[in-house]
């Protein structure tokens, strides 16, 4: 009987093997390596947009949230290049962010804030929050979208499809139920 090919790969110089491939970010979490992840929304978007989960794979930057492990991959999670790239991505996302987290309905459950905290001091140095909500759009009678908090996860590419479920699954506080029955 033919044996299944074992997938062998390295993470930060350490050898690993798997009988079946799996998502890189999920495997990193399994072995206790914490990398931010923000735009992937289970059952809704496949990620790959916000770039806060970048790692280095065989000397190239790649998103870990939407790529599977392949044989002979050499993954570096905390190389200078990977750390800088993640910091750049988070800086980009917060460059137009109001940073008024204390008054945000998503406080304590925001993927962008989580990414910011995981990524540490490097980002704080260049963090210049706008301090204002610059671009708010009323989507329907009881839903509003604050673009200054959006991380472009892809759920709102078509704003006509935004409903209460989308509000619940927005990774940040960008979508909010207003004048509702909460
Ligand atoms: S507003 Fe829409 S596109 Fe922006 S982060 Fe929320 S769900 Fe994603
Ligand atoms: S979490 Fe991977 S690109 Fe957004």
Q: Give the side-chain half-sphere CA count within 13 A for 31.
A: 16
Q: Assess if residue 127 is contained within a domain.
A: no
Ligand nearest the Cα of residue 159 is 1
Q: Which atom of ligand 1 is nearest to the CA of 175?
A: 1
Q: What end-to-end distance do the CA atoms of the chain give, in Å? A: 60
Q: Assess if residue 15 is contained within a domain.
A: yes
CA atoms of 178 and 182, how far apart (whole Å): 9
Beta bridge partner(s), residue 10:
15, 74
Q: Which atom of ligand 1 is nearest to the CA of 154?
A: 3
Contact status, residue 156 vs residue 150, Cβ threshold 8 Å? yes
29: CATH: 3.10.20.740
Q: Assess if residue 30 is contained within a domain.
A: yes
Q: Which atom of ligand 1 is nearest to the CA of 153?
A: 8
**Into how many domains does the chain fold?**
1
Q: Element (H or E) spanning 93, and its range?
A: helix 80-94
Query: Is a pLDDT exceeding 60 seen at residue 112?
Result: yes
Q: How much is the pLDDT for 50?
A: 95
Q: Assess if residue 24 is contained within a domain.
A: yes
- Distance (angstroms) between ligand 2 centre and the Cα of 124 equals 20
Q: How much is the pLDDT for 182?
A: 46
Mutate to test the pocket of ligand 2, among 49, 88, 172 (most ligand atoms within 8 A of CB): 49
Q: Assess if residue 56 is contained within a domain.
A: yes
Q: Assess if residue 27 is contained within a domain.
A: yes
Q: Give the structural domain span for 37.
A: 7-93
pLDDT in tens, 61-100: 999 999 999 999 999 999 999 999 998 998 888 888 888 8
Q: How much is the pLDDT for 10?
A: 98
- Distance (angstroms) between ligand 2 centre and the Cα of 44 equals 13
CB-ligand 2 contact for 37 (6 Å cutoff):
yes
- Distance (angstroms) between ligand 2 centre and the Cα of 100 equals 23
Q: Which atom of ligand 2 is nearest to the CA of 51?
A: 3
Q: How much is the pLDDT for 97?
A: 84
Query: Is a pLDDT exceeding 70 seen at residue 2?
Result: no
Dihedral pair phi/psi, residue 175, rounded to 5°:
-95, 135
- Distance (angstroms) between ligand 2 centre and the Cα of 52 equals 5
Q: To which residue do tokens 């207003």 refer?
A: 178
Q: Assess if residue 23 is contained within a domain.
A: yes
- Distance (angstroms) between ligand 1 centre and the Cα of 41 equals 10
**Is-above-0.75 flag for pTM?**
yes
Q: Assess if residue 147 is contained within a domain.
A: no
Which two three-digit tokens encode residue 66?
A: 């939407």
The percentage of residues in the chain with a pLDDT greater than 70, rounded to a whole number, is 88
The percentage of residues in the chain with a pLDDT greater than 90, rounded to a whole number, is 68
């Amino acid at each position: 009987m033919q044996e299944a090919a074992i997938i062998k790969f390295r993470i930060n110089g350490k050898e690993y093997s798997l009988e079946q491939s799996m998502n890189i970010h999920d495997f990193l979490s399994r072995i206790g390596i914490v990398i931010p992840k923000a735009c992937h929304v289970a059952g809704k978007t496949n990620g790959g947009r916000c770039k806060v989960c970048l790692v280095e794979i065989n000397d190239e930057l790649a998103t870990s949230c939407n790529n599977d492990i392949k044989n002979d991959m050499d993954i570096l999670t905390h190389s200078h290049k990977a750390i800088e790239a993640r910091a750049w991505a988070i800086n980009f996302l917060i460059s137009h962010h109001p940073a008024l987290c204390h008054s945000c309905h998503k406080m304590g459950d925001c993927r962008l804030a989580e990414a910011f905290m995981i990524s540490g001091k490097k980002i704080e140095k260049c963090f210049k929050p706008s301090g204002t909500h610059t671009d708010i759009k009323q989507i329907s009678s009881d839903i509003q979208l604050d673009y200054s908090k959006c991380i472009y996860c892809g759920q709102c590419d078509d704003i006509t499809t935004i409903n209460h479920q989308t509000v619940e699954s927005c990774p940040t506080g960008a979508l909010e139920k207003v004048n509702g029955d909460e």
